[in-house]
Amino acid sequence: MQYSPEHISQLVGEIYRNKSRAVFATLVRLIKDFDLAEDAMHDAFKTALEQWGKKGVPSNPLAWLVSTGRFKAIDRIRRESKFDPLQEQQVWQMDAEAIDPSRLVDKAIEDDVLRLIFTCCHPALSLDARTAMIMREVCDLTTEAIASAFLITPSTMAQRIVRAKAQIREAKIPFEVPPGHELPARLETVLQVIYLVFNEGYYASSGKSVTRVDLSGEAIRLGRLLYILLPDPEVAGLLGLMLLHESRRPARTSSKGDLILLEDQDRSRWNRDMIEEGLTLVEQAFSSKPPGPYALQAAIAALHAEAARPDATDWRQITGLYSLLLRISPSPIIELNRAIAIAMLKGPEAGLRQIDAILERGDLNSYHLAHSARAELCRKTGRTDQAKASWERALALAQQDPERRFIERKLSELGT
Closest CA to 318 of 287, 290, 346: 346
Buried b (16+ CB within 10 A) or exposed e, 394-414: bbebbebbbbbebbeebbeee
Helix axes 315-328, 332-346, angle to 10 degrees: 160
Position 134 confidence tier, pLDDT thresholds 50, 70, 90: confident
DSSP one-letter string for 336-360: HHHHHHHHHHH-HHHHHHHHHHHHH
In-domain check, residue 289: no
The CA angle 121-127-131, to the nearest 5 degrees, is 60
In-domain check, residue 141: no
Interatomic CA distance for residues 70 and 87, integer angstroms: 15
Buried b (16+ CB within 10 A) or exposed e, 165-179: bebbeeeebebebbe
Position 41 confidence tier, pLDDT thresholds 50, 70, 90: very high
pLDDT of residue 2: 64
pLDDT over 70 (residue 108): no
406 Cβ contact partners less than 8 Å away, ≥ 6 residues apart:
258, 259
pLDDT of residue 324: 97
- CA 135, distance to chain mean position in Å, is 7
pLDDT of residue 84: 56
Residues 247-265 have a mean pLDDT of 91
Interatomic CA distance for residues 295 and 282, integer angstroms: 6
Specify which residues 253 forms β-bridges with.
259
Q: Are 246 and 220 in contact (CB under 8 A)?
A: yes
Residue type, 263: E
Task: Provide the domain limits for residue 59.
Answer: 1-105
Mean pLDDT estimate for the chain: 87
In-domain check, residue 55: yes
Residues 236-260 have a mean pLDDT of 93
Record the pTM: 0.75
pLDDT over 80 (residue 187): yes
pLDDT of residue 260: 92
Residue type, 185: A
Interatomic CA distance for residues 300 and 219, integer angstroms: 20
In-domain check, residue 371: no
Give the residue ranges of DSSP H helices in 171-212.
183-202
416 Cβ contact partners less than 8 Å away, ≥ 6 residues apart:
388
Q: Which of 53-57, 85-89, 109-113, 410-414 has the lowest mean pLDDT?
A: 85-89
Q: Are 368 and 403 in contact (CB under 8 A)?
A: yes
10 Cβ contact partners less than 8 Å away, ≥ 6 residues apart:
none
Q: In the chain, how many domains are there?
A: 1
- CA 97, distance to chain mean position in Å, is 32
Residue type, 288: S
Q: Which helix (H) or strand (E) holds 252?
A: none
Helix (H, G, I), strand (E, B) or coil at 265: coil
Count of alpha carbons within 13 Å of 131, Cβ hemisphere only?
A: 21
Q: Are 168 and 32 in contact (CB under 8 A)?
A: no
Interatomic CA distance for residues 169 and 181, integer angstroms: 24
Most confident listed range (66-80, 122-136, 339-353):
339-353
If phi over 0 gives left and psi between -120 and 50 gives alpha, with beta otherwise, what is residue 82?
left
In-domain check, residue 97: yes
Helix (H, G, I), strand (E, B) or coil at 56: coil
pLDDT over 60 (residue 100): no
In-domain check, residue 251: no
pLDDT over 70 (residue 191): yes
In-domain check, residue 83: yes
Residue 257 main-chain phi, psi, to 5 deg: 85, 10
Closest CA to 94 of 103, 102, 106, 86: 86
Q: Are 240 and 281 in contact (CB under 8 A)?
A: yes
Q: What would the pLDDT profile of 315-359 be if each residue is shown by its tens digit?
A: 999 999 999 999 999 999 999 999 999 999 999 999 999 999 999
Q: Are 301 and 241 in contact (CB under 8 A)?
A: yes
DSSP one-letter string for 344-411: HHH-HHHHHHHHHHHHHTTTTTT-HHHHHHHHHHHHHTT-HHHHHHHHHHHHHH--BHHHHHHHHHHH
Residues 154-179 have a mean pLDDT of 89
In-domain check, residue 61: yes
